[in-house]
Amino acid sequence: MSKLLDRATWQGKVFSNGWVEAGGGVIDAIEPATGETLAQVGAADAQDIARAAASAAAAQPEWAAKTGPERAAVVRRATEILAVNREEFETWLIREGGCVPGKAAFEVDLVLGELHEAAALPTQPHGLLLPSSEAGRESVARRLPLGVVGVISPWNFPQVLSLRAVAPALALGNAVVLKPDVQTAVCGGVLVARLFEEAGLPEGLLHVLAGDAEPGAAMTRDPNIAMIAFTGSTAVGREVGASAGRNLKRVSLELGGNNALIVLDDADLDVASSAGAWGAFLHQGQVCMTAGRHIVLESVADEYLARIADRASALPVGNPHTEQVALGPLINERQAANVHRIVTESVAAGAEVRAGGKQDGPFYWPTVLAGVTQEMAAFREEIFGPVAPVTIVKDEAEAVAVANSSEYGLVAAIQTGSVARGLGLARSLRTGMVHVNDQTLNNDAYAPFGGVGASGNGTRYGSMSSWDEFTTWQWVTSRETAHGFPF
């Protein structure tokens, strides 16, 4: 075991000016596939958040005053440490997060990309020389860090969805208070803290405090925290946005999705069904970008259904730590039961199970539903499970209308034999992202990422957006000598 996860250092504690006891006691880190307790971490309360935020606010000005290359060097060291210790990061994702090894490796690659992009930020130009309306006055606009950024991250991609905010915020001169989800408090929290601790980040700049709703709510109210970067469900995101707004904080909301995969009548159906299966079943469908609505033109619907059902039926399910499987457990049995509820309600309303539809504890078999209409739960709800609901439409215009009928607007994908046709269709889709001849699960550290409607408040992540998100403009004018005025 690497020194990064020496349990004597962090077991039962939170990271706040070192590893300390937490006011909320301890949380068990559970392996969802077996129910085994893997470790214990500290559970923060509101008082822990207040102390952390005050400490971060006190430490941040000195960090902001460092040169860009100095801050970049710390992030680069974190990148190097992760590259050397990636096996640990992947193992914890598999065991605590329930993902298959391929997904774990993919997530660590994404984190490395986020760190590389963050390390490049501090040495970019951070101001503008403005024209002046008065002779003898110099006018500039410069970017300044916000101060303390609060990050609330989820359990499904716990490392990348923490670090895509933590890394650029730190690189641009902010301090950070991170609250990872309690279900992945080690791989989404402890490992992040240890990474930057080993990289030599000065004390007080990063605080990692797992906890439930209490510390999260405290972050939205704390006067020392200038911004909340939240990734999670739409329901909780509305509460976070309301509380942060009342306290005049900047808020970034990356929320749920009920994403459309549109299959046109000129698509290669073998490729389209592969894209559909990958988009629906990767990480047991527990991704905000999952293909949750398969909207297929009627002339090719039967063949698409047959092909994706065959693919689903061939995917093995089991413990990803001990077996060669394509799907592991859902994060907990409650989530699996909710997936089964949606499937059962939809079947009762007239949908047909073509594959799967089976639950065993936290495990749910990849499921294909035919005959799904817009009134059914499988169409309306974000399932967050391995289900591919197929809705048949008569033509392209109806496909667009059905895709846009959801309150969500995160991502869509289009399968077609004509790129021009796909790009034309993309302009009509009310989503933050569209992928033509691809599936819905795409992420690049430098590309703008975010959704609209119930999926969030716009493009918030990716290095193209980081300066806008984690800094603020300051307008500065100066004169060689002061002068008088009419009064």
Q: What is the residue-wise DSSP string for 65-113?
A: HS-HHHHHHHHHHHHHHHHHTHHHHHHHHHHHH---HHHHHHHHHHHHH
Numbered ranges of CATH 3.40.605.10 in the chain: 7-255+456-475
Is 396 a known active-site residue? no
pLDDT above 90 for 335 = yes
Tokens 């207040």 correspond to what residue? 50
pLDDT of residue 2: 52
pLDDT above 80 for 485 = yes
Q: What is the DSSP string of 311-366?
A: HHHT--BS-TTTS--SB---SSHHHHHHHHHHHHHHHHTT-EEEE---EETTEE--
Distance CA 163, CA 176 (A): 11
Distance CA 84, CA 445 (A): 20
User: By C-alpha distance, which of 426, 442, 375 is closest to 113?
Assistant: 442
Least confident of 165-179, 255-269, 384-398, 452-466: 452-466
- Residue 234, classed as helix, strand or coil, is helix
Mean pLDDT of 310-328: 98
Mean pLDDT of 156-175: 98
The tens digit of pLDDT for each residue in 400-455 reads 999 999 999 999 999 999 999 999 999 999 999 999 999 999 999 999 999 999 99
pLDDT of residue 239: 96
* Average pLDDT of every residue of the chain: 96
Tokens, residue 78: 């974190």
CB neighbour list of residue 477: distance below 8 Å, 6 or more residues apart = 132, 137, 138, 139, 140
The tens digit of pLDDT for each residue in 232-251 reads 999 999 999 999 999 999 99
Helices (H), 139-265: 160-171, 191-199, 213-221, 234-246
The tens digit of pLDDT for each residue in 10-64 reads 999 999 999 999 999 999 999 999 999 999 999 999 999 999 999 999 999 999 9
Rounded percentage of the chain residues whose pLDDT exceeds 90: 97
The tens digit of pLDDT for each residue in 62-101 reads 999 999 999 999 999 999 999 999 999 999 999 999 999 9
Residue 21's CB is within 10 A of a number of other CB atoms, namely 12
pLDDT of residue 4: 84
In the sheet with 458-461, reading across from the earlier edge strand, the strands are: 408-409, 449-453, 458-461
Between 399 and 463, the higher pLDDT residue: 399
Catalytic residue, chosen from 288, 381, 396, 469, is 288
Distance CA 465, CA 459 (A): 7
Distance CA 73, CA 76 (A): 5
Numbered ranges of CATH 3.40.309.10 in the chain: 259-436
Catalytic residue, chosen from 90, 117, 198, 254, is 254
Q: Are strands 433-436 and 411-415 parallel, antiparallel or unpaired?
A: parallel
Assigned CATH for 259-436: 3.40.309.10
Domain 7-255+456-475 fold is: Aldehyde Dehydrogenase; Chain A, domain 1 (3.40.605)
Mean pLDDT of 143-154: 98
pLDDT above 90 for 460 = no
- Residue 268, classed as helix, strand or coil, is coil
Q: How confident is the model at residue 398 (pLDDT cuts 50, 70, 90)?
A: very high
Phi, psi for residue 119 in degrees, rounded to 5: -65, -25
Is 198 a known active-site residue? no
Distance CA 342, CA 352 (A): 13
Between 175 and 1, the higher pLDDT residue: 175
pLDDT above 50 for 1 = no
pTM value surpassing 0.85? yes
Distance CA 258, CA 249 (A): 28
pLDDT of residue 170: 98
Instruction: Calculate Rg over the CA atoms of the chain.
Output: 24
pLDDT above 60 for 137 = yes
Q: Where are the beta strands (DSSP E) in 270-321?
A: 291-297
Single-letter amino acid, residue 166: V
From the number of C-beta atoms within 10 Å of its C-beta (0-12, 13-18, 19+), residue 105 rates as middle
